[in-house]
Amino acid sequence: MGLNDISGQIIDAAIAIHKALGPGLLESVYEVVLAHELKSRELHVRRQVVVPIEYRGIRFDEGYRLDLLVDDLIIIEIKSVEEVNKVHKKQLLTYLRMMDKPLGLLLNFNVNLMKEGISRVANGIAE
């Protein structure tokens, strides 16, 4: 399955979850339910993946964790906030660069329509 097919499955799953649960829940709830939904679609999902920091040749595993990593290609950051800020997208882009992954999806479930809460962030690939 290609990058666009996988991201399409993720977006479809997020929309289904939003329709079923609605906005306003904790990010951790959306994370566990989305992970379950993606696994049921036969995608490989890892939760709370460490984002290692390298400094002067030393690797540090403390600090950052991304919400979901799907098929070792797509990073998903889950939010349940009134408004997505530029810093959220910058954080996701930083994760993509540090993990050397091509694509990230920022999913904000605290919206009326899920399509309004989806941001796609690319790391060096054409949109």
User: Cα separation of 123 and 102, whole Å?
Assistant: 5
Strand-pair partners of 19: none
pTM: 0.90
pLDDT value at residue 61: 80
Architecture of domain 3-122 in this structure: 3-Layer(aba) Sandwich (3.40)
Q: What is the reported pLDDT for 63? A: 74
**What pLDDT tens digit does each residue of the chain (127 aa) get?**
889 999 999 999 999 999 999 999 999 999 999 999 999 999 999 999 988 888 898 888 877 899 999 999 999 999 999 999 899 999 999 899 988 999 999 999 999 999 999 999 998 754 4
